[in-house]
Every structure is written in structure tokens, then in C-alpha cells.
Amino acid sequence: MGVKELAEALNVTTNGIRGHLFSLERDGLVRQKGVEQSGGQPAHIFELAGDAELFFPKAYGVLLSHMLTEIRSTMDETAFTALLAGTAKRLARNWHKAEGNRIERLESGIDVLNEIGGLAEVSKEEGTYFIQGYSCPLSDATKKHPEVCYLAQLLLEDLTELKFDRCCTYGDKPKCRFELLEPELKNISA
């Protein structure tokens, strides 16, 4: 597909798609397959490169869903929430804490979500910033266990030191969406 087709299919801006394609191409996961003439400027067509398919999750969401069902049957709500929080903290140790102003911290959080298989970008609506996800690497799990999004929220909060409110969409096509609340840290601007 080309940039325009990807943007339409994923409901993402063409600039957002170009950024992701640049990173994926740099990392050897996608490559330009050819050029399509469309009457205007030629459009580059992209495809998966080599062993890129190995990086796409397969049954992780299904497995996680079954594990969460089993775990929930053995724990009360307080213990289960503590388990999610501990998992988020342990997962956060894989990345450096975000630095800079709010936007830089948001971008850092997006980088982490994208690294673990999501597709997200920053959006601003009526003065409020959101992290908008367009795909969920664990969508099979979130169908029955939306608390997986709570784990993602805690991960973002730990890494960015910002506070978020979950506004995720669930169902057949779950999408992450986190509203940035006013930061509690005093020296963060923008």
C-alpha cells in the first residue's frame, strides 16, 4: 500500500504514516516495493521486508486473555489491581524515564506504545492532548479484559510522570485513547 491508502485504512494522518514508515524502513521491517502512478506525483508502495512477519504478535492476546481469566478467578479486585500495577512498573524498567516538556514526554510514551506493537500518535482537541491509538497488539485480550488498558495507562504514567484518563474503545476493533490530565509536576511546560 501507499501512504495515502495506509492513512485511510488506519484513520491516521499521512504525516503520521510517513513517520512510522520511515522508522520501519530504517529498522528493515518494510521496504519500498515500487511506485504507482496516480496522475499527480508518483506514490511509493510499501511492503513487509524479509522476516518482519516474525515480529507481529500471534496468539499473545488470546493467551493473555485466558491467563487473566484464570488469575481473576483466584484474586479479589484489590489484589488483581495490585498485580496490574506491579506488572506495569516491572515493564517500565525496560525504558528510560521520559524527559522534557509535556509534549516531549507524550511523544516518548507514544514511542513505547509503538515499540510494543501499537500504532499511536498525539492529538489535540479543544486544548486537550490525547494519545490516540489506532491498533491494539493485545486486542484479543481487551475484548474480555479491558483492564489490560489500565496496565497500559499505568505504564505510560510511570514512564512519562504524567497523569492520564482512559477513554479507550472496546469491542471488535479496540483502540487505545488516553486523555492527558494536568501534570502534577510543576516544572513541565507546553
Beta bridge partners of 121: 132
Name the fold adopted by 60-180. Answer: Muramoyl-pentapeptide Carboxypeptidase; domain 2 (3.30.1380)
Cell (9 digits) for 72: 481473576
> For residue 186, what pLDDT is reported?
42
Provide the residue type at 62 as one letter. V
Contact 184/145 with Cβ under 8 angstroms? Answer: no
Query: At 93, which amino acid appears?
Result: R
**Closest to 131 in 3D by CA, of 155, 107, 147, 149:** 107
CB neighbours of residue 86 within 10 Å: 12
**What's the confidence (pLDDT) of residue 95?**
93
State the pLDDT at residue 133: 83
- What is the DSSP code (8-state) at residue 52? G
Look at residue 75 in the predicted model and tell me its pLDDT.
94
Delimit the domains of the chain by residue range: 3-55, 60-180
Segment-wise mean pLDDT, segments of 10 residues, the chain, 190 residues:
85 87 85 74 77 63 87 93 94 93 92 84 90 78 85 93 90 82 53
The per-residue pLDDT for 37 is 67
> What is d(CA 25, CA 21) in angstroms, rounded to the nearest whole number?
6
HSE value, Cβ hemisphere, 13 Å, CA-based, for 125: 11
Give the relative orientation of helices 14-26 and 3-10 as an angle to the nearest 10 degrees. 110
pLDDT of residue 185: 43
- pTM of the predicted model, to two decimals? 0.66
